[in-house]
Amino acid sequence: MDSVGPVVLQQGKGAAQEGLPCPPDSSKLVQECLQQFKVTEAQLRQIQASLLGSMEQELRGQASPDPAVRMLPTYVGSIPHGTEQGDFVVLELGATGASLCVLWVTLTGIEGRWIESRSKEFVIPQEVMLGPGQQLFDFAARCLSEFLDALSVGNQGLQLGFNFSFPCRQTGLDKSTLISWTKGFQCSGVEGQDVVQMLRDAITRQGAYSIDVVAVVNDTVGTMMGCELGVRPCEVGLVVDTGTNACYMEEARHVAELDEDRGRVCVSIEWGSFSDNEALGPVLTTFDHTLDQESLNPGAQRFEKMIGGLYLGELVRLVLVHLAQLGVLFGGCTPPALLRPEAFLLEHVAEMEHPLAGAARVHAILRDLGLSLGTSDAELVQHVCAAVCTRAAQLCAAALAAVLTRLQHSREQQTLQIAVATGGRVFEQHPRFLSVLQETMKLLVPECDVSFTPSVDGGGRGVAMVTAVAARLTAHRRLLEETLAPFRLTLKQLAVVQAQMREAMVKGLRGEASSLCMLPTYVRATPDGSERGDFLALDLGGTNFRVLLVRVATAGVQITSQIYSIPECVAQGSGQQLFDHIVDCIVDFQQKQGLSGQSLPLGFTFSFPCRQLGLDQGILLNWTKGFNASDCQGKDVVCMLREAIQRRQAVELNVVAIVNDTVGTMMSCGYEDPRCEVGLIVGTGTNACYMEELENVAGVAGDSGHMCINMEWGAFGDDGSLSMLSTCFDARVDQASINPGKQSFEKMISGMYLGEIVRHILLHLTSLGVLFRGQQTQRLQTRDIFKTKFLSEIESDSLALRQVRAILEDLGLPLTSDDALMVLEVCQAVSQRAAQLCGAGVAAVVEKIRENRGLEELTVSVGVDGTLYKLHPHFSSLVASTVQELAPHCAVTFLQSEDGSGKGAALVTAVACRLAQLAHV
């Protein structure tokens, strides 16, 4: 396998890396020494795979007690979108080694513009870094007060973001327990404690300012959040400073610890602790082992000690000492200064590798250590620096490649385009670290298109941004809840709807003024299983019209059908034009089925409000569902169909029954289950029917037996009884409809309107700045652009958030993950209200049947049809649970109808023929 060494990436496995040429007179000892720092492609890929495996194991919650990486959720669930604004205080501890920094950051809410008014760095004394924890936090509180005193900000309430750059386990955005100290800190009494609470206690003891610690953030998250907004989302943070770490936005459903199934969360990998012996062992040198043994934490943070800026200078020093002792460097001289740990710092290494001034800096730095250089010593020292730092960059690239591979797999993207925010003094000071990192990334993950963006201020702005994003999300959450509150109905409100519908049912049956027509259908019985014969059925209830041949036999029901479209010009033209088109479709169907000349009994499913005067007489009350054909309202539609048949001539059709689609649904399910006495449609429109006691039906002769009642419940509430539940969004949808003020219940429930309700809510939330960064889009202004089917797709449990985003992006909506989650909540609120109102209506119906029959308990089935009920992932269960709550004495089974409109119409016709034969006998 080709070597990926400190000087050049071997050709054939990747592009050449920058490096310093090895001196031609290098001894074999130098080559053998530096050979240890060469890393092969195979070794890098093994590290990449091992780290990825450790990440995924920890995400699943299956890691060992001493995990290789931590994968700690940070509870940062959103990246900035440029509208954040306000003044924020940032306290950075551990981000820059043995110092503490306080910043005052002003965010303007304008993309690319922010102001860091003031900042001040405080050196932390060694005795504080190694002393009691309370001493450290008291020191931090004093620094805060000193900084704020100089700003003269007064005692206003201040929001603070706490950048605490050590391995912690967060249990909330403002709750974080220190796992272990790194970077030379060893304060007692802090590990295992909530560092936010310790800071709050220290601020309280100081007593000078009212400060709310909103968020605790490590420097890596701060780096990611402080990335300038660009074309690509910045969802990875990479820090190589005194230590090293990375974070990225993971799908929340993959983080077992969170038990969340939606959205994303920033995960801090804490990869400095990665220590897989199988992967790292082959690339560990004798110098790595020596450095580890002499460190404050032997055996810990092995990966960090090969990459972090705190250790690179020390590795260089150890190599130089070794070579000097071999007599290869400095004439074999090892002065005390060279033997002193930390004689070489990161800045020394970076300066000595500078492509122009490097040689001069080597002489100056080594002269300060009391060393005199031989002819080739400066070049050899530069070569040592290159070996150590190139390996560090390559190892960092292998780890970052694991992160990008994880993102690529979890988001199911063949090509990942992403921005990585970089921070830390290694990136800032070292002349070649980033270029070596980039070249190695191209080798390891060529399918990932990665751009690297330097952190604006080393993470301070990012910490302020985390705090600001939290404030924005809180404000947006409040506005979202206020907007959706009217859609979240209580059981008490639903019981009121049930009672109002029950009252309207009674009035409608008596012939009194009511928003429920309670129309007799003259269907007096459900199927008993003895029906036989061939029947035609017509199904008109939407933009598609069906003609069916239904054969009812001992073996069951066989159906042959064909769909014909009804153009909008026909649906809204003249009545004669509409019915002529219907007859043309019937004739075409008869010819294709070889039925020409036959006169079969025909059932006509006509899914619009009608007042039936007999089984084959139906007076159209009003059009719905987008139909508006003229000269039809107030007329017998069966008669209009017969007239169209006569105009066509040579066509014989025996129209036996006009059937509402809801009745057809009940009859279709009744053929399978004799307990089915209720029909329910929830599709483009909505309606219900049920078997009522004939004695309760005014205007129909007879006191015994049953009569199916077409409730036409879509009009429920047209008398204003639902006004207490109607929202401003319902009002807008109603006003824009073709029948303002009518079909109130239907407009809250059915598929024709739910998408429009959602669209108006989205427009409102966008105007408030809650969605889409407050940017109105022309597509969202377009009526009916948000189809009800999108609710079903968006609310599907099987869809990942990425797929939800894809649905919305297809609509031209420039959304973030936050937007996708909020749109999901809007859809859930609208569809839940619809299902609950539907359930309240069904509860009213089954309770009416139970009381009619004087039963303590009723067992009844409801036949259901309609795309909304069948396709929406939660609608049916919400309807059932609502019925169970509101009608506890009714055991209700919901049966999904198979072709209720067609098969049901034929069965109504078949039952009518059976009853006619019995009457004739």
> What are the catalytic residues?
546, 607, 661
- 364's CB contacts (< 8 A; 6+ apart) are none
Here the tokens at position 24 are 């031609």
Q: How far is Cα 337 from Cα 317, in angstroms, rounded to an integer?
A: 10
Q: Which residues pair with 110 in a beta bridge?
A: 113
Q: Note the helical H segments in 745-795.
A: 746-749, 751-767, 778-781, 788-794
Q: Contact 441/397 with Cβ under 8 angstroms?
A: yes
Q: Contact 456/228 with Cβ under 8 angstroms?
A: yes
Complete DSSP assignment for 383-403 = HHHHHHHHHHHHHHHHHHHHH
> DSSP assignment, residue 125?
P
- 723's CB contacts (< 8 A; 6+ apart) are 717
Q: How far is Cα 901 from Cα 895, in angstroms, rounded to an integer?
A: 15
Q: How far is Cα 871 from Cα 148, in angstroms, rounded to an integer?
A: 59
Complete DSSP assignment for 600-640 = -EEEEEE-S-EEEEETTEEEE----TT---BT-TTSBHHHH
Straight-line distance from the first to the last Cα atom of the chain, in angstroms, rounded to the nearest whole number? 96
Q: State whether the Cα torsion 643-648-652-656 is positive or negative.
A: negative
Q: Any idea what the Cα angle at residue 165 is, between residues 419 and 294, rounded to 5°?
A: 115
Q: Is 732 exposed, middle or buried (0-12, 13-18, 19+ CB in 10 A)?
A: middle
Q: Contact 304/291 with Cβ under 8 angstroms?
A: no
The residue assigned the tokens 């306000």 is: 86
Q: How far is Cα 423 from Cα 216, in angstroms, rounded to an integer?
A: 18
- 766's CB contacts (< 8 A; 6+ apart) are 772, 774, 775, 776, 780
Complete DSSP assignment for 10-57 = PTTSSPPPP-PPPPTT--HHHHHHHHTT-EEHHHHHHHHHHHHHHHHH
Q: How far is Cα 478 from Cα 472, in angstroms, rounded to an integer?
A: 10
